[in-house]
Chains A and B, each alone.
Chain A
């Protein structure tokens, strides 16, 4: 691409006569090129004056030229040494991308790619024999010094651990008492052994043994299971090896200058007894038969189920507690306005009653009062109506009695007469006004009652026997006053208790009366106005 091409692309005109001619020539060329690409002429013409793909055709040319000039990148079979630390390592050959000269230059600076992964652990070197003996004496002294102090708690701990493990065993295998006994016996034996061995155990480590231990630790990079597997001297446990190695390493590091104190501390914190204890416990865990495991699992599941049940019960209880306070004035009453809602409410209350009844039954049983004494009505507490809450319990006394009665009736219709007489007895009793109120007893003195059971909510209020237009204006007034109604033609209060019903009725009547008065007043006023205007007073 020449400078002219760039100028063309950027639409920069250059002064001079022969420039445009050149340009034309070039563009012709390009058209010819692009035709060669196989695009139909018609289609190419459709492209219109839009930027001709100068770059594209040029690039095509360049690509093919590049292809012709392409040289496969060289691969060279290079010798290399895999381990830079081992001068005698084998000369291996592998294929590497790049020319021989380049790679030869590079290989002098760079080591083998995977050589960086050839790392071992850093371990303290084992000291010579004299120093080793000195360290061993020190370790021994350390142990002796710490023994009087540590003996007591460590033994206690051991005992605790034993108790725990034996407890676990008892849980796991209740019937295999013999086994756990054996186990604890051997444990005790072990303990005695360890305590007696504690003194001379340290001396047991010879320099040769220790040397091998250190070599193995280095060779297997502190993979203890392998170190233990390859350790040739008999009578050592894995814990012995670890204990000895850590103790000695701590000593060696202490002896050195500029050692890491936290490392030494962590080395010294290894506890052989704890470790053996843990392993013993693990072994007893692994020795369980599948039946025992299954039993344990089922126990765990059962425990979890109990937990869940307890939680559920708490939730249910809280639900019941909220029910106890219901219907709350703060809650919407709407759900109780339909007959279904009412039925729900009734059911809820019944469930609540049953609960309380059960509780009371239990209480009664506890106080040795026979429950089925016959059809004697429950005594009405003296302080029955002293407070709302007590009222409620008092009510439920009666309800409970009645529901009990119903059950008995279902069971046998024989006692029916006695029962009804009991209610009569109850009714015949003189009740105070408050008691009547509490029981919800109401005497329909001179009211016409329709036969059968009716819901108060479906009852038509006498105040509503008005004309439609009057009702409309009554509705307006009620809305203005923010008095809740169900709406529709069938007005009633949201909570149709007897009291509210009467109050509502009263309200309606007074509203109607008020409206009448207002209408009369308006009428009179307009008449006065008319007469005044007729007489020309104004």
Chain B
């Protein structure tokens, strides 16, 4: 108990991200349940069907009153095709926009996957550093009122990422699914003035989507069809038009949001699998020298992607002039974010922050990104030290891991907001306790 200051109170840690929701026990090194945050829903034609559908255990009623809507959550939720199923994203810009599916998501993660009852455990929730007061209070409300947890705490991911890296003060560069953020953390607290974030990963994905689907001199535009719609396909040589048959029975029932969600997923997969960034700035020759990489799409079309795969990563560091000219409100690049964040910080702190740069988030696993970033930073700052965990789990679930560490510390337990306090003080206790 006294070793390393840890004291297990079997707390649960919940980290709701844009792409995945992570849940697990405090003190573990990886989350037990990792489920997509997006969910499928459709209007229920009849109440009877609702009963028959619930046997699979992947779907939950959003609320018993609106019994006309069935939601599909979890790992087998949005990925399984349903006739007329729409896909929705409750989290936008890192913030929870739509709270209606959140209880279902949380319940699914805790009850169906972890097989534990939230009523018996203190729950530790994460939030982005730019979370609104209303949002976190709503979260506390869900936890206390719907899940009846005995104790609750909410901490922000910037601080937790710093803790996961073992640092009290750090400049956390978190590249997530939708948002890239730079958070200065000093003595375990976020400096809100230096906090910046941008929707850069969305731009990168949109650009990659456009690049893949549009025709160029070497290949035709690629069809990003979901594999759920493909009945059969024949293996083909690289760069040869695909040979596949569609499931015509499903075509009419496939919604636009499902297609969009799938395309986004496919592009993301392509980026993670193939794309990279050169460590010394854009150079066509170097990019060509690196060699091509093979990728096969669900249609069976496969291709060796050469220098073009390195163009994708450049977007993180610089925007092409024509892009800037066409769109003045572009999301800021990572170096821009860092300089903006640092200039808002006290000069006394800059040296500390640059010596403790923590690179985290699933988007940062992009091939060559950490090398490029360290090169970029070394050009502008003296004594830069980047901490980028080599373990992909640690990088992707850094926020959860920090929460797991924090919630298992003996010194932390005095910070929990108890049910009693919630009932006594109401919403304002959240802001009081969680600074």
16 contacts between A and B (CB under 8 A): A82-B414, A88-B424, A89-B416, A89-B421, A90-B151, A90-B417, A91-B150, A92-B9, A113-B2, A113-B7, A117-B411, A118-B414, A223-B187, A225-B346, A229-B191, A229-B192
Q: Are A86 and B414 in contact (CB under 8 A)?
A: yes
| B416 to chain A: closest residue by CB | A90
Contacts of A293 in B (CB 8 A): 382
Task: Kindly state whether residue B10 has any CB partner on chain A within 8 Å.
Answer: yes
CA distance A386 to B299 in the complex (A): 112
- Stretch from B130-138, B272-280, B347-355 at the A interface: B347-355
| A229 to chain B: closest residue by CB | B191
Task: Kindly state whether residue A282 has any CB partner on chain B within 8 Å.
Answer: yes
Distance to closest chain A CB from B6 (angstroms): 10
CA distance A456 to B410 in the complex (A): 93
CA distance A526 to B125 in the complex (A): 126
Distance to closest chain A CB from B391 (angstroms): 29
With A92-B413, A238-B346: A230-B192 Cβ-Cβ less than 8 Å? yes
Residue from A92, A94, A95, A228 whose CB has the most chain B CB atoms within 10 Å: A92
Q: Are A225 and B122 in contact (CB under 8 A)?
A: no
- Residue of A88, A92, A290 near B420 (CB, 8 A) is A88
Contacts of A504 in B (CB 8 A): none
Contacts of B5 in A (CB 8 A): 114
- Residue of A93, A112, A114, A286 near B350 (CB, 8 A) is A286
Task: Bits for A90-106, please: 1 = Cβ < 8 Å to B, else 0.
Answer: 11111110000000000
Instruction: In the A-B complex, list the 9 residue pairs whose CB atoms are closest, starting with the nearest.
Output: A90-B418, A82-B413, A90-B151, A83-B414, A114-B410, A82-B414, A92-B9, A88-B420, A229-B191
Distance to closest chain B CB from A43 (angstroms): 46
Task: Kindly state whether residue A439 has any CB partner on chain B within 8 Å.
Answer: no
Distance to closest chain B CB from A259 (angstroms): 28
Interface residues of B in 1-38 (CB under 8 A from A): 1-2, 5, 7-10
Q: Are B424 and A94 in contact (CB under 8 A)?
A: no
Task: Bits for B392-435, please: 1 = Cβ < 8 Å to A, else 0.
Answer: 00000000000000000011011011111100100000000001
Residue from B150, B347, B351, B380 whose CB has the most chain A CB atoms within 10 Å: B347
| A283 to chain B: closest residue by CB | B347
Interface residues of B in 75-101 (CB under 8 A from A): none
Q: Are A220 and B151 in contact (CB under 8 A)?
A: no
Task: Kindly state whether residue A127 has any CB partner on chain B within 8 Å.
Answer: no
Interface residues of B in 364-391 (CB under 8 A from A): 379-380, 382
Task: Kindly state whether residue A115 has any CB partner on chain B within 8 Å.
Answer: yes
CA distance A93 to B151 in the complex (A): 11
- Residue of A93, A95, A229, A286 near B193 (CB, 8 A) is A229
Q: Are B410 and A113 in contact (CB under 8 A)?
A: yes
With A282-B348, A286-B350, A290-B380: A92-B416 Cβ-Cβ less than 8 Å? yes
Task: Bits for A211-234, please: 1 = Cβ < 8 Å to B, else 0.
Answer: 000000001100101101110000
CA distance A422 to B122 in the complex (A): 111
Distance to closest chain B CB from A502 (angstroms): 75
Contacts of A93 in B (CB 8 A): 9-10
Interface size class on chain A is 20 to 34
Contacts of A88 in B (CB 8 A): 418, 420-421, 424
CA distance A93 to B419 in the complex (A): 15
Interface residues of B in 292-333 (CB under 8 A from A): none
Contacts of B122 in A (CB 8 A): 90, 92
Distance to closest chain A CB from B370 (angstroms): 21
Contacts of A94 in B (CB 8 A): 1, 7-9
Task: Kindly state whether residue B186 has any CB partner on chain A within 8 Å.
Answer: yes
Q: Are A286 and B411 in contact (CB under 8 A)?
A: no
Q: Are A225 and B347 in contact (CB under 8 A)?
A: no
Task: Kindly state whether residue B41 has any CB partner on chain A within 8 Å.
Answer: no
Task: Kindly state whether residue B258 has any CB partner on chain A within 8 Å.
Answer: no
Q: Are B416 and A223 in contact (CB under 8 A)?
A: no
Contacts of A144 in B (CB 8 A): none
Contact residues of A with B, CB < 8 Å? 82-83, 86, 88-96, 112-115, 117-118, 219-220, 223, 225-226, 228-230, 238, 279, 282-283, 286, 290, 293
CA distance A348 to B8 in the complex (A): 80
| A85 to chain B: closest residue by CB | B414
Contact residues of B with A, CB < 8 Å? 1-2, 5, 7-10, 122, 150-151, 186-187, 189, 191-194, 346-351, 379-380, 382, 410-411, 413-414, 416-421, 424, 435
CA distance A273 to B435 in the complex (A): 31
CA distance A90 to B346 in the complex (A): 38
Distance to closest chain A CB from B164 (angstroms): 21
Distance to closest chain A CB from B425 (angstroms): 9
Q: Are A82 and B416 in contact (CB under 8 A)?
A: yes
Contacts of B193 in A (CB 8 A): 229
With A89-B421, A117-B411: A96-B191 Cβ-Cβ less than 8 Å? no
Q: Are B8 and A90 in contact (CB under 8 A)?
A: no
Q: Are A226 and B347 in contact (CB under 8 A)?
A: no
CA distance A283 to B421 in the complex (A): 46
| B9 to chain A: closest residue by CB | A92
| B169 to chain A: closest residue by CB | A225
Q: Are A282 and B347 in contact (CB under 8 A)?
A: yes
Q: Are A113 and B347 in contact (CB under 8 A)?
A: no
Distance to closest chain B CB from A209 (angstroms): 18
- Residue of A83, A114, A228, A229 near B7 (CB, 8 A) is A114
Distance to closest chain A CB from B104 (angstroms): 26
Contacts of B1 in A (CB 8 A): 94, 96, 113
CA distance A90 to B429 in the complex (A): 14
CA distance A219 to B434 in the complex (A): 11
Contacts of A86 in B (CB 8 A): 414, 421
Contacts of A117 in B (CB 8 A): 411
CA distance A226 to B410 in the complex (A): 24
With A90-B150, A91-B150, A113-B2: A226-B7 Cβ-Cβ less than 8 Å? no
Contacts of B10 in A (CB 8 A): 93
Contacts of B416 in A (CB 8 A): 82, 89-90, 92
Distance to closest chain A CB from B25 (angstroms): 13
Distance to closest chain A CB from B198 (angstroms): 21
| B409 to chain A: closest residue by CB | A114
CA distance A282 to B7 in the complex (A): 43
Distance to closest chain B CB from A240 (angstroms): 13
Contacts of A83 in B (CB 8 A): 413-414
Distance to closest chain A CB from B43 (angstroms): 41
Distance to closest chain A CB from B384 (angstroms): 12
| B413 to chain A: closest residue by CB | A82
CA distance A364 to B380 in the complex (A): 56
CA distance A96 to B7 in the complex (A): 10
Distance to closest chain A CB from B411 (angstroms): 5
Task: Using A117-B411, A225-B191 as known contacts, list a sample of 8 further A-B pairs with CB atoms less than 8 Å apart, ordered by residue number in A.
Answer: A92-B9, A95-B8, A112-B410, A113-B1, A114-B5, A223-B187, A225-B187, A290-B379
Distance to closest chain A CB from B158 (angstroms): 13
CA distance A397 to B386 in the complex (A): 69
With A95-B8, A114-B7: A226-B414 Cβ-Cβ less than 8 Å? no
Q: Are A91 and B418 in contact (CB under 8 A)?
A: yes
| B354 to chain A: closest residue by CB | A286
- Residue of A95, A113, A228 near B346 (CB, 8 A) is A228
Contacts of B347 in A (CB 8 A): 279, 282-283, 286
| B425 to chain A: closest residue by CB | A88
Contacts of A82 in B (CB 8 A): 413-414, 416
- Residue of A95, A118, A220 near B189 (CB, 8 A) is A220
CA distance A112 to B7 in the complex (A): 11
- Residue of B9, B350, B418, B435 near A89 (CB, 8 A) is B418
Residue from B189, B193, B379 whose CB has the most chain A CB atoms within 10 Å: B189
Q: Are A226 and B187 in contact (CB under 8 A)?
A: yes
Distance to closest chain B CB from A513 (angstroms): 87
Contacts of B414 in A (CB 8 A): 82-83, 86, 89, 114-115, 118
| B382 to chain A: closest residue by CB | A293
| A282 to chain B: closest residue by CB | B347
| B352 to chain A: closest residue by CB | A225
Distance to closest chain A CB from B405 (angstroms): 15
Contacts of A225 in B (CB 8 A): 186-187, 191, 346, 348-349
